[in-house]
Amino acid sequence: MNTATTMTEAGTDRTTDDQAAAAAGGLAPEPLPTVAELRIPSWFFAFEAVLAGAFDVLRVFPSAWPGLVVLGLANAALSFTVLRSRLRLAKLMWRGKGTRKVALALLGLRVGVHLLLSAVGLAASSPLVHLALALVMSGLTITLLVFAQRTSLRALVADGRIAA
């Protein structure tokens, strides 16, 4: 079986010899993946949330870096094993402008909050402020990633690239 797959910015376009044969009355076309198959579980976004709050966590607990490294490695291990089939959605999400905007907005928010607090004279110097910022950044990260995933899945269903 010869399969040629091309990726576009919005998602994937499939062109296979099997689909051409199916159109000619031969084999059945390959079924489209479903939303349930591609959806990344929300609990997985907790890894990204911890990493989003890592800067402030390290400011409060400098000796926590080995734990953050272990969480980063666990994130990578889960990505390439348990969630391997869902990497396709992750790739599609990162190609979308919305997900990049979310990532840049989170980065801008982090820098902006620290600059604003410094300008007002309330620099994030206490452990409580750093922990609060870490929690806020973690919560925003989970919320925005779940929103970006939901939006991407809806767009892919509307485009006919995946089945509902």
85, 136: one domain: yes
Same domain, 58 and 125: yes
Task: Indicate whether 118 and 141 sit together in one domain.
Answer: yes
The answer to whether residue 7 is domain-embedded is yes
pTM for this entry: 0.65
Give the separation between CA 37 and CA 57, rounded to whole angstroms: 34
Does 65 lie in the same domain as 1?
no
With respect to residue 164, please indicate whether it lies within any of the assigned structural domains.
no
Alpha helices in the chain (DSSP H): 17-23, 35-38, 45-52, 54-60, 65-80, 87-95, 97-120, 127-159
* Domain span including residue 53: 33-159
Tally the domains of the chain.
2
Quick one: 87 and 139 in the same domain? Answer: yes
pLDDT digits (tens, 9 = 90+) for 112-136: 877 887 777 766 677 888 888 889 8
Considering the domain architecture, whether residues 49 and 102 belong to the same structural domain is answered as: yes
In tens, the pLDDT along 54-105 reads 888 888 899 999 999 999 899 888 888 878 777 777 777 677 677 777 778 8
